[in-house]
Structure 1
Amino acid sequence: MTASHDDDIGRIVRETAPRLYRLAARLTGDLAEAEDVLQESYVRACAGLGGRAFQGRSSVETWLHRIVVNASLDALRARRRRSVRETHAAPADEVLDPGASLEARAALRELSEWLDELPAEQRVALVLKELEGHSTAEVATLLGCSEGAVEQRLVRARAFLRERRKHA
């Protein structure tokens, strides 16, 4: 690698890390795990830059977004396979809205707990659509599925959250 190439990678990391960290924290619901996911994502991206992984059909940031989503899904699946309920600090305080009132922070913490109960695919679709503001088409692209599959995941996730709210 050349010094210029290293500078380019450093610039990309500096520009994308805050958004991608926030995304990983929202998807995993765990700040430490989000750091691991982000680091793993950058390692995967660097390994893919020289090969065929990045084909230039999208922006580098979109490509990195997809890598973070996939790494987050891998982390969520691994957590579920371990089937050990980990106690973690919800990212609501530090990541979602650091300036929120105590009442808002409590609501964000509760939402984070509910999101953690969703199956990984539903959680990721909901976070990308509702919290990250992506269109259904963008979510489908990031998840590598059809828009119909995204809509179905959203319907199920929203139904779960409505039911959960009724019983809260």
Structure 2
Amino acid sequence: MTRPTREDLEAARDKTIPDVIAADLDVLFCGINPGLYSGATGFHFARPGNRFWPALHQAGFTPRQLRPAEQDELLSHGVGITNLVARTTALADELREDELRDGAERLARLAGQYRPLAVAVVGISAYRVAFARPKARVGRQPHDLDGAALWALPNPSGLNAHYQLPALAAEFRAIRQAGATGERSR
């Protein structure tokens, strides 16, 4: 994958990236929205330094650390990716609260349609706004999302200094330990 130029990044503003999704996944991970780097490459969590891919592997979801360009391989491991808001921005702060709330409604529809065992929103602050749960904490949430166990996880962005990779992987692993994987045959 070639590094996008500054012009590529600027041209990626407001682009969208298709979901990586299928029926009966173990976990549907939901980002806040794609960044410009992801928009320019067409791959989720593509910016170097984003810890989604290492955390996913260290948590045991994949047998090796996949690269963003290999995102479609996630489906064979029972994992998918979507976003609360589809459009790319330089920063998640550029999103409006109504976009995040609309994203929560869309996520509920996806959960009903595709029936994952669990949905994991990566970004606790965005989760709090999107689901109108201002005091939510990282971890399993007390309510489901159209039949799927609902989780709020830390943002895997390299900008999130509160969670280093081992702690982030431990939060991802908690989903596996809760039995959200392996209960369906492929």
User: Is this a same-fold pair by TM over 0.5?
Assistant: no
Higher relative contact order (CA 8 A, sep 6+): 2
TM (norm. structure 2) is 0.30
TM (norm. structure 1) is 0.32
CA radius of gyration, larger in: 1
Higher normalized strand content (fraction of residues)? 2
